[in-house]
A = this chain, B = another copy of it.
Amino acid sequence: MSPKPEQYDVVVLGGGPTGENLADRAKAAGLSTVLVESQLIGGECSYWACMPSKALLRPAHALAHARALPGAKQAVTGQLDAAAVLARRDEFTWHWHDDSQVEWLRSTGIDLVRGHGRLAGEKAVLVDGERLLTARHAVAVCTGTRAALPQVPGLAEARPWTSRDATSAAKVPGRLAVIGGGVVAVEMATAWQALGSQVTLLVRGSGVLDRMEPFAGELVAAGLRAAGVDVRFGTDVTRLGRSGGGTGEVTLTLGDGSTVTADEVLYATGRVPRTDDLGLETVGLEPGSWIEVDDSCLVRGVAGDWLYAAGDVNHRALMTHQGKYQARIAGAAIGARAAGTPLDTARWGVHSASADTAGPPQVVFTEPEAAAVGLSLADAERAGLRVRTVDQDLGQVAGASLYVDDYRGRARLVVDLDRDIVVGATFVGPGVAELLHSATVAVVGEVPIPRLWHAVPAYPTVSEVWLRLLEQLRG
């Protein structure tokens, strides 16, 4: 006997920030909406990614800045108190309880179904095989990703950390091996080294953060080394083993036969979409695959304009803020299609997640921080644009030299010479996270360079790097 269908206008699969925002926008468009989530409402971001990672990092950065300033450093005689940092992290994750998020959902009038949802053909979702939710207008898949783990002998027995463990660990391991060279790897290496671990960072390639301008990875790697992290490039882990019948230390065997021992090992080697057990096959899609969408987040290859995918699961831009952005756009598109009003899917239109393709902003909260938006030089060249880059040593900017002593950092603009606009910007240095939005507004606003000359940075801020960069463009 099949369950009695419960009908809604919109069914959202996945209650992370993307699902929450999409449901919120659908509800605001006057559509009855239900959210299906088997774990915590709030998702990776709230409990195992953005929030706990930044909570782990921020006290270390603040202390590092105080230590880098004569007058302040004399006041800093002790060490970072790891237990206090972990306790603050626990508060930011609400001790891994989602009561406040559930309360928010309730206040918006969005229904919540706890359980594992799977597509069950067109406009239908079956939760735990027991409840059948049907959608008049749309189903949105916002199930995100989980850590990818490679096939390596001994991996399971070694009980490696993934990003979830690295952000939620209750104790500081004496030695931590981190495998990977992306954002999770460098942020967690930074955090745990500051908290007292001896971190070894094992990178397969020749550098970290390889999607950013090359100097970003170089400066971040130099920062890791300066903090005491043992950074090794060109490494390959071929085998793992944990001693003491699984309770002792982990030994990693590398491709060159050498070994690294550690108390914990973090695998940060990529993400896979949470689509393997989602009933994708019932709508003609491939289970386990990334879900391809158009700029309104409508899934390609499914007839009827009813299936959407937003956030990391569509592989456009794997960041919380871009997921929420897609959620706003997809929610508006669902509302417009439901109301039968025309969509504006032109570039920068209300129903086009154009910022994904222009190059989403990203901040890596290492020390130094690395922040980028738009196209890197390599991106621009691949896109066939006629560009010019200008670089500026941030240490030569008055505001940066005041910020900390011996400031090391660099900025780059990528300028489209045919349109005379900035199409990419990268800032690397202590405290640059908040500089990025100036570039995001310039790139997205397509503000012409002659107009940017009138956007005067206040003296003496780090933002004055804009003046130096523009001067070089003129020179």
Interface of A toward B, CB cutoff 8 Å: 45, 50-51, 54-55, 58-60, 62-63, 65-66, 68-82, 84-85, 87-88, 92, 319-322, 324-325, 328, 348, 350, 354-355, 358, 360-363, 371, 398-399, 401-405, 431-438, 440-445, 447, 450-464, 466-467
Among B55, B78, B84, contact of A77 (Cβ-Cβ < 8 Å): B78
B74 pairs with A75, CB closer than 8 A: no
Q: How far is the CA of A452 from the CA of B84 in the complex (A)?
A: 39
- Closest residue on chain B to residue A92 by CB atoms: B402
Among B58, B71, B454, contact of A444 (Cβ-Cβ < 8 Å): B454
Q: A145 to nearest B CB, angstroms? A: 16
- Closest residue on chain B to residue A461 by CB atoms: B433
List residues of chain B with CB within 8 A of the CB of A328. 453
Q: How far is the CA of A454 from the CA of B77 in the complex (A)?
A: 45
Counting from the closest, the 5 A-B pairs by CB-CB distance are A71-B85, A445-B447, A74-B81, A437-B438, A59-B71
- Closest residue on chain B to residue A65 by CB atoms: B62
Please list 6 pairs of residues, one from A and one from B, whose beta carbons are closer than 8 Å in the complex, sorted by A's number: A50-B459, A324-B459, A355-B454, A363-B458, A437-B457, A445-B455
B434 pairs with A461, CB closer than 8 A: yes
A348 pairs with B76, CB closer than 8 A: no
List residues of chain B with CB within 8 A of the CB of A361. 456-458
Q: A25 to nearest B CB, angstroms? A: 10
Known: A66-B65, A87-B70. A456 touches B435 (CB 8 A): no
Q: A80 to nearest B CB, angstroms? A: 6
Q: How far is the CA of A438 from the CA of B78 in the complex (A)?
A: 37
Q: How far is the CA of A293 from the CA of B58 in the complex (A)?
A: 48
Among B72, B358, B436, contact of A463 (Cβ-Cβ < 8 Å): B436
Quick one: copies of this chain in the complex? 2
Q: A303 to nearest B CB, angstroms? A: 29
- Closest residue on chain B to residue A317 by CB atoms: B456
A69 pairs with B75, CB closer than 8 A: no
List residues of chain B with CB within 8 A of the CB of A434. 431-432, 434-435, 461-463
Among B82, B88, B437, B458, contact of A371 (Cβ-Cβ < 8 Å): B458
List residues of chain B with CB within 8 A of the CB of A455. 355, 437, 440-441, 443-445
Q: How far is the CA of A262 from the CA of B361 in the complex (A)?
A: 51
A441 pairs with B436, CB closer than 8 A: no
B438 pairs with A461, CB closer than 8 A: no
Known: A455-B444, A457-B440. A70 touches B75 (CB 8 A): no
List residues of chain B with CB within 8 A of the CB of A437. 435, 438, 455, 457-458, 461, 463, 466
Task: Known A-B contacts: A75-B80, A360-B456, A433-B463. Give 4 more (CB < 8 A).
Answer: A59-B69, A75-B81, A441-B447, A444-B452
**Most chain B beta-carbon neighbours within 10 Å: one of A74, A404, A451, A467:** A74
Among B325, B445, B466, contact of A456 (Cβ-Cβ < 8 Å): B325
- Closest residue on chain B to residue A55 by CB atoms: B402
List residues of chain B with CB within 8 A of the CB of A371. 458
Among B79, B324, B460, contact of A50 (Cβ-Cβ < 8 Å): B460
List residues of chain B with CB within 8 A of the CB of A399. 54
A321 pairs with B454, CB closer than 8 A: no
- Closest residue on chain B to residue A82 by CB atoms: B71
B440 pairs with A402, CB closer than 8 A: no
List residues of chain B with CB within 8 A of the CB of A444. 447, 451-452, 454-455
B71 pairs with A81, CB closer than 8 A: yes
Q: How far is the CA of A174 from the CA of B467 in the complex (A)?
A: 40
Known: A69-B62, A454-B354. A440 touches B438 (CB 8 A): yes
A451 pairs with B445, CB closer than 8 A: yes
Q: How far is the CA of A445 from the CA of B358 in the complex (A)?
A: 18
List residues of chain B with CB within 8 A of the CB of A73. 84
B322 pairs with A456, CB closer than 8 A: yes
- Closest residue on chain B to residue A442 by CB atoms: B441
List residues of chain B with CB within 8 A of the CB of A402. 51, 54-55, 58, 92
Among B362, B405, B442, contact of A445 (Cβ-Cβ < 8 Å): B442
